[in-house]
Amino acid sequence: MAGDTQLLRTPLYDLHLELGAKMVPFAGWEMPVQYPMGVLKEHLHCRAAAGLFDVSHMGQVILPEGAVSALERLVPVDIAGLAEGRQRYAMFTDAAGGILDDLMVAKKPGHLFLVVNAACAPQDIAHLQAHIAGVQVVTDRALLALQGPAAEAALAGLVPGVAAMRFMDVAEFDWQGAVLWVSRSGYTGEDGYEISVPADVAVDFARALLADPSVTPIGLGARDSLRLEAGLCLYGHDIDTTTSPVEADLTWAIQKRRRAGGAAEGGFPGAERILAELAEGPARKRMGLRPEGRAPMREGVEIFAASEGGQPIGRVTSGGFGPSIEAPMAMAYLPAELKIGDTVYGEVRGKRLPAAIAPMPFHPHAYKR
């Protein structure tokens, strides 16, 4: 799969092998897809206790404090109103109102800290550099995610101050002389943290967390099923340049200040389309599906309005079996007039199977507000 391109490795690569991980190519990196426990048990362990994820493949970027206005010209999000010590979800948009990538933006003392998706990192960094002076790419730090109801106790055992953090807080802490950049956030729907740690102590820090009996390593397989149960988008699947933030049902991320009538209305790529969709509603929207029975409807399955005949009305963007809900689940872009409880049909191996439009998340969020 790698062709002539050498796959990158995170600072935890050797530890993954030691822990028995099955490694796979992902976004140009060699990443653990699962450990001997297996995807199902890893998923359930994260929901019940705490899971440790290596997300060092994601891009970490520092922008100067004065870059707020410039960044607001790239995203439909209120950056100026972001308080120090807080972060929020954002997305880069293009001139047509499509999504170039989604990202996290934190306001720290003296600078902004961004985390972008691995597959989009080179393009995102070039995009930032084309519009903002002083972009600093962080290359000497790993990034770990600790997720689940036992995450607070496990991390607080090493770094006591983290227990006082709220969802979307960011702060810095010392651990054995190393500075940790910590956010109380994550991609599983569970309470937890993301921790940027100097690369040269990343393995020691991971081992210290794994020494807690509540913590087990989790691979990309369970990360995907966890985020799908949480109703969260995966870039390149549920959102991309063909989907607008309004179609993707991400309007909660567009603050009043950037909307029509707001103090900083528009001024971002694709604003004309996005503001019009906010006012008038989109023709289609990302929706949750609960297929009947236990057969999952996976990515690419075409969705129809009727059990026979007609043209497809949408396509599954993410789908699988939810271990926590013990049922299949999926997301698809469907006509916006469809409502919760309506029945549609997914064509699986030549047979149309019913699925109900369902609210998301499929599994309730457990963030510490």
- Give all domains of the chain, ordered by start, each with its CATH number: 13-56+139-229 (3.30.1360.120), 283-369 (2.40.30.110)
* Per-residue pLDDT at 2: 42
Give the residue among 363, 367, 297, 365 at the shortest CA–CA distance from 325: 363
* Per-residue pLDDT at 96: 98
The answer to whether 159 and 193 have CB atoms below 8 angstroms apart is no
* Per-residue pLDDT at 328: 98
**In whole angstroms, what is the distance from residue 185 CA to residue 18 CA?**
28
Give the residue among 36, 97, 95, 80 at the shortest CA–CA distance from 251: 97
The answer to whether 274 and 255 have CB atoms below 8 angstroms apart is no
Give the residue among 11, 288, 4 at the shortest CA–CA distance from 138: 11
Residue 5 has pLDDT above 90, yes or no: no
Burial class (CB in 10 A: 0-12, 13-18, 19+), 173: middle
Instruction: Please give the structure tokens belonging to residue 39.
Output: 């995807």
The answer to whether 301 and 348 have CB atoms below 8 angstroms apart is yes
Give the residue among 19, 54, 24 at the shortest CA–CA distance from 37: 19
| Helices 220-229 and 39-48: angle between axes, nearest 10 degrees | 50
pLDDT-based confidence at 3, cuts 50/70/90?
very low
pLDDT, tens digit (0-9, with 9 covering 90-100), for 174-220:
999 999 999 999 999 999 999 999 999 999 999 999 999 999 999 99
Q: Mean pLDDT, to the nearest integer, of 257-276?
A: 98
pLDDT-based confidence at 344, cuts 50/70/90?
very high
pLDDT, tens digit (0-9, with 9 covering 90-100), for 212-250:
999 999 999 999 999 999 999 999 999 999 999 999 999
Residue 361 has pLDDT above 80, yes or no: yes
* Per-residue pLDDT at 320: 98
**H helix or E strand, kind and range, residue 52:** strand 50-54
